[in-house]
Amino acid sequence: MKKNKPRVAIQGIRASFHEEAAFKFFGENIQTIECNSFKQTFDALENNEADYVVMAIENSIAGSILPNYSLLLNYNFPVIGEIYLPIQLHLMALPGVVFEQVKYVTSHPIAIRQCIDFFDEYPHLKIVESSDTAACAKRIHDEKLTDTVAIANTLAAKLYGLDILERRVESNKKNFTRFLILTTHGNVEKAIANKASLCFQVSNQVGALAKVLNIFANQGVNMSKIQSMPVLGKRNEYNFYVDVEWEETKHRPRGYGHALFNRLFYPTACRPDRRGRRSYFNRQRTHETTPHRYFG
């Protein structure tokens, strides 16, 4: 029996961008499971303390979050969807505080770097880095700081009762973060998918990777992303993480699966996960910031 309110594990606290992404995918009627690290979100899912994980995987400015690829490989949970969330950063303070009172600004280091043009205009502000944007807003609320502003989203301002002094202080107004939605194998709902996430290695030979990529092209499958990471303890060996897409009007291409098995040094699809289970496709549907849910 399905739970009425899904338990969604996120890295960080309520009103973080991870919770905002969860709201976009599931709607706001969820139980947010706060975790101190991305690994803790996966452990919560594995231990049945959560039904889903929402995890950032890449940002259009900062790039890929490489440690999270290792989590995908080690835990082998199915990816059932994704969200592209626009990152809009606002300057917020306690009600009644005016900008002239402010001496300190606090936020996550990446958020701070994304607002560098704003800080150049106010060199007197002292920057204090923190582990989470929403946690900065919460600290201002809890400690009643009148000389400090936080950089966070509108969710944080609303939840912690802060006023927004300046909106959209990020330098790049077209900054997006991509979040993956994961669940357990037993919780996957059947639906037509139009995207898959794969991980594989190839032999260290001339043209080995090109032969794999040609399979996608020959089968009419679009490769939308490729990311490589060294295999720990093995010189000149890499894991390749690939996202592939196909048209929704077509069924999932069937020929390239068999062709891949003949080319790959070993496909992650054949490797058992931490509990001995095996899976081939991490299937997903892709969409922007609409609140609809897509499963594959």
Which residues does the annotation mark as catalytic? Answer: 177, 179
Q: Provide the H-helix boundaries in 122-196.
A: 133-143, 154-159
Rounded CA-CA distance 228/69 in Å is 10
Helix (H) or strand (E) holding 67: helix 66-75
Say how many C-beta atoms besides its own lie within 10 A of residue 126's C-beta: 12
Rounded CA-CA distance 154/174 in Å is 17
Q: Please name the residues in contact with 186: beta carbons below 8 A apart, sequence gap of 6 or more.
A: none
Rounded CA-CA distance 198/244 in Å is 8
Query: Quick one: tokens of 249?
Result: 């009007």
Which is nearest to 99 in space by CA: 171, 172, 163? 163
Rounded CA-CA distance 71/77 in Å is 9
Rounded CA-CA distance 262/24 in Å is 40
Rounded alpha-carbon distances, angstroms, from residue 19 to 14, 46, 83, 86, 186: 6, 20, 12, 13, 24
CA 122 from chain centre, in angstroms, equals 32
Rounded CA-CA distance 48/22 in Å is 18
Rounded alpha-carbon distances, angstroms, from residue 222 to 218, 236, 237: 10, 27, 25
